[in-house]
Amino acid sequence: MEKDLIEYLAKSLVDDPSQVNVNVVEGEKSTILELRVAAGDVGKVIGKHGRIAKAIRTVLQAASAKAGKHTTLEILD
């Protein structure tokens, strides 16, 4: 569910939605979602001073807490 949420949010923000890729890395106590977008769209996902990235992480934490999980987001270049 969290992967779909991040994909939806990222595709809504970028110019090239076909380049959005979310990779799930399962750990023992937490899950890491690795978000990759086109090189020109990285700034749109991060936002000024990281505000958009922080907002996406906040929504992700709320969704994963509801499911009783700990999930983090990494935005990769």
**Cβ(47)–Cβ(9) under 8 Å?**
no
Distance CA 74, CA 24 (A): 10
Tell me the mean pLDDT in the region 10-38: 93
* Residue-wise pLDDT tens digits, 57-71: 999 999 998 888 899
Give 65's contacts (C-beta < 8 A, 6+ positions apart).
none
* Residue-wise pLDDT tens digits, 25-77: 998 889 999 999 999 999 999 999 999 999 999 999 999 988 888 999 999 97
Q: What integer pLDDT is reported at residue 12 of this predicted model?
A: 95
33 backbone φψ class: left, alpha, beta (φ>0; ψ -120 to 50)? beta
Tell me the mean pLDDT in the region 8-22: 95
Q: 3-state DSSP call for residue 63?
A: helix
pTM: predicted TM-score of the whole model, two decimal places? 0.89
